[in-house]
């Protein structure tokens, strides 16, 4: 049992990944519901993008709304082989 707890988590390879979808299951709005800034390109000149891996999407996203210099936030899945993943 202890060996299971020590094993490093790994993403499944392409052969074991879920098949996903050909197109996104949900429409992504052009602007954020809370601050109304754009969350899809084009963005204002001079901005940079950062990506963070966190637990609960929306609980963690709220902290970024309160951070100085953050223009907009968007949550979702990143990495892996499954196209257009959802819950």
Give the residue numbers annotated as catalytic, written as ranges. 56
Find residue 31's DSSP bridge partners.
38
* Residue 77 near residue 69, CB atoms below 8 Å: no
Half-sphere exposure of 51 (CA within 13 A, CB side): 4
């Amino acid at each position: 049992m202890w060996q299971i707890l020590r094993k490093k988590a790994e993403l499944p390879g392409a052969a074991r990944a879920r098949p996903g979808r050909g197109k996104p299951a949900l429409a992504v709005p052009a602007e954020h519901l809370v601050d109304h800034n754009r969350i899809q390109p084009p963005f204002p000149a001079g901005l940079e993008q950062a990506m963070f891996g966190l637990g609960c999407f929306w609980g963690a996203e709220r902290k970024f709304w309160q951070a100085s210099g953050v223009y907009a936030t968007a949550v979702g899945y990143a990495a892996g082989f499954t196209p257009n993943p959802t819950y």
